[in-house]
Amino acid sequence: MPTDTTRRALTAPVVLYAVIRAVALAGAVAVAFGLDLPYADWMPPAAMVAMKADLHQSTLAGTQRVVGTILGAAIAAVFLLSVDDKHVLEVVILVLAVIGGSLRFVNYALYTTAIAGTALIALDLANPIDLATEGKRILFTLLGIAIAVTVTILARLIQRRAANRQPSA
């Protein structure tokens, strides 16, 4: 949770970034639901979570989310392929969820690892599927993260361009 709650002026770059972010999220939602792609609904939340106000923050959050998602998918694949007992998988879900919750403010990559593993195992436990479907979920999560980082880079470029146009005082 961010600790900086100071008020900021509503400047043109802030408004522009909000508009760009809204358009990017609307685009992700349009692709996910308009094209009727299976499991593409994972893309908009991933984009929204990875978009931060600063390029460095977005890149860091995006990188940590990519690493965590891939590690979480690997953990889920190992458990789903090696454990056949539903009760053991339920315990694994509980343990991963507790680990994820306890690591939320400590390390975002480890938090994402635990939560991704929890989500993938829980979804597969409720409705058993193949690993290709898990791969699609991961792919759309990664695409959402790519959208977030791209939008933040675009906003940064626009901000720099606007700063270069203004005469120095």
115-154 tens-digit pLDDT = 989 988 888 887 777 777 778 888 888 888 888 878 878 8
Task: Tell whether 43 is covered by a domain.
Answer: yes
Is residue 4 domain-resident?
no
**Domain span at 28:** 12-163
Where does the pLDDT of residue 99 fall: very low under 50, low under 70, confident under 90, or very high at 90 and above? very high
The reply to whether the predicted model has a pTM over 0.85 is: no
Kindly state whether residue 3 falls inside one of the protein's structural domains: no
Cα–Cα distance for residue pair 116/141, rounded to 1 Å: 10
Q: What is the pLDDT of residues 39-68, one digit of tens each?
A: 788 888 888 877 776 667 777 877 888 888
Q: How many domains does the chain have?
A: 1
Whether 26 is covered by a domain: the verdict is yes
Number of H helices, E strands in the chain: 6, 0
Residue 135 in tokens = 């791969």
Within-domain flag for 135? yes
Q: Is residue 155 part of a domain?
A: yes
Rounded to 10 deg, the angle between the 108-126 and 131-165 helix axes is 140
Where on the phi/psi map is residue 32: left (φ > 0), alpha (ψ -120 to 50), or beta?
Answer: alpha
Is 1 a member of any domain? no
User: Can you tell me the distance from the alpha carbon of 6 to that of 98, in angstroms, rounded to the nearest whole number?
Assistant: 32
The answer to whether 135 and 42 are in contact (CB under 8 A) is: no
How far is it, in rounded angstroms, from Cα 102 to Cα 160? 39
**Amino acid letter at 67?**
V
5 inside domain? no
Distance CA 131, CA 156 (A): 37
Confidence label for 100 from pLDDT (cuts 50, 70 and 90): very high
